[in-house]
Structure 1
């Protein structure tokens, strides 16, 4: 069993960790310390129990918000998966565009000639 040392707020701690879990514990401690540092910046020196309580509450609030967002995202994903809508976006090749423009010009020309013939006749 390894021992992990870290600081939260203004106090150092040493905790035993299972082999291989040291990095996880250090990461968790760093997150908790980040919250504690924010509290210390705003409130100044705070007793350890209160500091840990406030930091824990801030993290719990953040966790609850993220959990709620994840639940909404999962519901949205499930709706999309249960009712997929196929969307196709046509891609018109440039040579087809040119051919269509030429046909349109010819049709206009024919329409003009037909009008001229009807007016003359």
Structure 2
């Protein structure tokens, strides 16, 4: 087990973390500290238990809001997947393809004749 040190608000902490989970703990502590710093910037010095409570509540509110948005997006995606909209792709008629191919062949023949006249 590794010992991870971090600061939240105005207090330093040290916790044991499973090997490989040190970065996760540090990242979580940084998120909590950012909330705590925002509270301290607005309210000044706040007792540690209250600071942690307020920061935790702010994060819980943000989490709930994010969770609601994710659920709405999942419902919307499910609706789209269950009822896909019809998409029409224009199709070039066979006659037009043939006419364009014929025009291209004529243009190539004219270009060859022009080259022959310029060379000869």
Judge same fold: TM > 0.5, yes or no. yes
Per the alignment, residue 106 of structure 2 pairs with none
Structure 2 residue 51 is matched with structure 1 residue 51: yes
Give the corresponding residue for 1:87.
87
Question: Cα deviation per residue 1:66-86 (whole Å; 9 max; x = unaligned)?
Answer: 000000000000000011112
TM superposition score normalised by structure 2: 0.74
Name the counterpart of 2:102: none
SS of equivalent to 2:12: strand
Structure 1 vs Structure 2 CA RMSD: 1.6
CA distance in 2, matches of 1:60, 1:35: 11
Equivalent residues, number: 94
Q: 1:15 to 1:91 in 2, by over 3 A?
A: farther
TM-score (norm: length of structure 1): 0.73
1:90, CA displacement in angstroms? 3.5
**How far does the alpha carbon of each residue in 1:12-59 deviate from its partner, in whole angstroms, 9 at most, with x for none?**
000000000000000000000000000000000000000000000000
Structure-1 separation of matches of 2:58 and 2:50: 12
Unpaired runs of 5+ residues, structure 2, are 100-120
User: What SS does the aligned partner of 2:15 have?
Assistant: strand
For the pair 1:66 / 2:41, whether they are aligned, the reply is no
Secondary structure of the residue aligned to 2:85 is coil
Distance (Å, rounded) in 2 between the aligned partners of 1:25 and 1:14: 11
Query: Is residue 6 of structure 2 the alignment partner of residue 10 of structure 1?
Result: no
What is the rounded CA distance, in whole Å, between the counterparts of 1:53 and 1:89 in structure 2? 57
Moved segments of 4+, more than 3 Å: 89-92
